[in-house]
Amino acid sequence: MNHPHFVGALSRNVIKHILRKSGMRYLSDSEEAEATTYMGQAANIAKSASCDRHKCGSVIVNNGKIIGRGFNSPPAGLEEQRRCSYPKESYNKKVTDKTCCMHAEQRAIMDALRNNPDKLRGSSIYFTRLGKDGSTARSGKPYCTICSKMSLDAGIKEFILWHEEGICAYAADEYNTLSYQYKE
> Cα–Cα distances in Å, from 101 out to 73, 80, 92, 113?
5, 12, 18, 20
Reduce the DSSP state of residue 163 to 3 states and report it. strand
> Pattern 2-41, binding to Zn ion, x per CB under 5 A?
----------------------------------------
Per CB under 5 A, does 147 bind Zn ion? yes
> Pattern 40-59, binding to Zn ion, x per CB under 5 A?
-----------x-x------
> Cα–Cα distances in Å, from 154 out to 119, 149, 178?
10, 8, 18
Per CB under 5 A, does 130 bind Zn ion? no
Residue 46: name the closest of 139, 121, 115 by CA: 139
Per CB under 5 A, does 104 bind Zn ion? no
Per CB under 5 A, does 168 bind Zn ion? no
DSSP collapsed to 3 states, 65-108: EEEEEEECECHHHCHHHCCCCCCHHHCCCCCCCCCCCECHHHHH
The stretch among 28-36, 80-88, 111-119, 123-131 that binds Zn ion (CB under 5 A) is: 80-88
Give the number of residues in contact with Zn ion, rule: CB under 5 A: 9
Residue from 27, 84, 110, 113 touching Zn ion (CB under 5 A): that is: 84
Residue ranges binding Zn ion (CB under 5 A): 51, 53, 84, 100-101, 103, 144, 146-147
